[in-house]
């Protein structure tokens, strides 16, 4: 099995690469690239994202044909894709970080700033927080409800269809921290920074049929 981690110059993704390689051992080939043909021929794709919604979308678009290739992979061929942090946020139609920016439009919704209740909650939301698993999901197999995951974000994904939400976390309000729509999975938290539980989630993604 070939799994591609998309490298589109969106910040340091070394911990994502290391975690996937640790879990994959020698059974799964992990490729880190933005080569369109390698992405097309992959069995699964991981879309990381660090920085702002706007900068990540712009970085994707800078690589000729990349958004079209990812779109085809996720929505035409419907192969498993995992978005992490801003990688998940880009699934939305639109984001409001820095300026209004169009997203990939795979899961209808918007990305807006977390309501910090007039400064009562610090932004960015950094550190460990419990997740509330709200629907059965293949990527949460063998992960207990109220497990702790690691977060770093100031913006949240608000999907139009609440049925895509697989987990939430409580920080100033109920924030969506995991979504699932058919073959498309996304986590707002960083599984690669979430210790053994995060590695279990990565293993679950690699195990998807």
CATH topology of domain 2-207: Rossmann fold (3.40.50)
Q: Which strands, in side-by-side order, build the sheet including 109-113?
A: 101-102, 94-95, 109-113, 155-159
CA atoms in the 13 A half-sphere facing the CB of 173: 12
Percent of the chain's residues with pLDDT above 90:
97
> What does residue 49 show for φ and ψ, rounded to 5 degrees?
-170, 125
Q: What is the pLDDT of residue 95?
A: 98
Q: What is the pLDDT of residue 209?
A: 86
**Whether the bond into 6 is cis, omega within 30 of 0:** no
Tens digit of each residue's pLDDT (9 = 90 or more) over 126-157: 999 999 999 999 999 999 999 999 999 999 99
Q: How far apart are the first and last CA of the chain?
A: 11
Instruction: Kindly indicate the confidence band of residue 97, based on its pLDDT and cuts at 50, 70 and 90.
Output: very high
Q: Which residues of 42-54 are buried (b: 16+ CB within 10 A; e: fewer)?
A: bebbbbbbbebbb
Tens digit of each residue's pLDDT (9 = 90 or more) over 179-190: 999 999 999 999
Catalytic annotation on 56? Answer: no
Residue 199 in this model has a pLDDT that exceeds 90: yes
Catalytic annotation on 153? Answer: no
Q: What is the pLDDT of residue 134?
A: 98
Looking at 85, 97, 153, 156, which residue is catalytic?
85
**195-207 and 14-24 helices, crossing angle to 10°:** 70
Looking at 56, 125, 156, 190, which residue is catalytic?
190
Instruction: Kindly indicate the confidence band of residue 111, based on its pLDDT and cuts at 50, 70 and 90.
Output: very high
Distance, CA of 22 to CA of 103 (rounded, Å): 31
Mean predicted confidence (pLDDT) in 181-206: 98
Q: Put residue 137 in one of left, alpha, beta given phi > 0 → left and psi -120 to 50 → alpha.
A: beta
Catalytic annotation on 97? Answer: no
Instruction: Report which secondary-structure segment, H or E, holds 115.
Output: none
DSSP 45-86: EEE---S-HHHHHHHHHHSTTHHHHHHIIIIIS---EEEETH
Distance, CA of 93 to CA of 208 (rounded, Å): 26
Domain residue spans of the chain? 2-207
Q: What is the pLDDT of residue 162?
A: 97
Tens digit of each residue's pLDDT (9 = 90 or more) over 1-50: 999 999 999 888 999 999 999 999 888 999 999 999 999 999 999 999 99
């Amino acid at each position: 099995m070939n799994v591609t981690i998309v490298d589109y110059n969106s910040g340091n993704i070394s911990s994502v690469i290391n975690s996937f390689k640790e879990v994959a051992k020698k059974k799964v080939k992990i490729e880190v690239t933005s080569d369109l043909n390698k992405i097309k021929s992959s069995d699964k794709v991981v879309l990381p994202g660090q920085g702002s919604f706007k900068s990540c979308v712009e970085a994707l678009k800078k690589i000729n044909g990349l958004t079209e290739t990812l779109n085809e992979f996720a929505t035409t061929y419907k192969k498993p894709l995992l978005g992490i942090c801003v990688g998940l946020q880009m699934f939305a139609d639109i984001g409001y970080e820095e300026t209004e920016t169009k997203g990939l439009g795979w899961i209808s919704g918007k990305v807006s700033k977390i309501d910090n209740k007039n400064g009562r909650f610090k932004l960015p939301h950094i550190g460990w927080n419990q997740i509330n698993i709200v629907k059965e999901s293949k990527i949460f197999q063998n992960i207990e409800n109220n497990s702790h995951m690691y977060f770093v974000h100031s913006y949240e994904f608000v999907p139009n269809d609440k049925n895509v939400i697989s987990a939430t976390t409580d920080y100033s309000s109920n924030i969506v921290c995991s979504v699932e729509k058919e073959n498309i999975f996304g986590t707002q938290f960083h599984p690669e920074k979430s210790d053994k539980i995060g590695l279990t989630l990565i293993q679950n993604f690699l195990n998807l049929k």
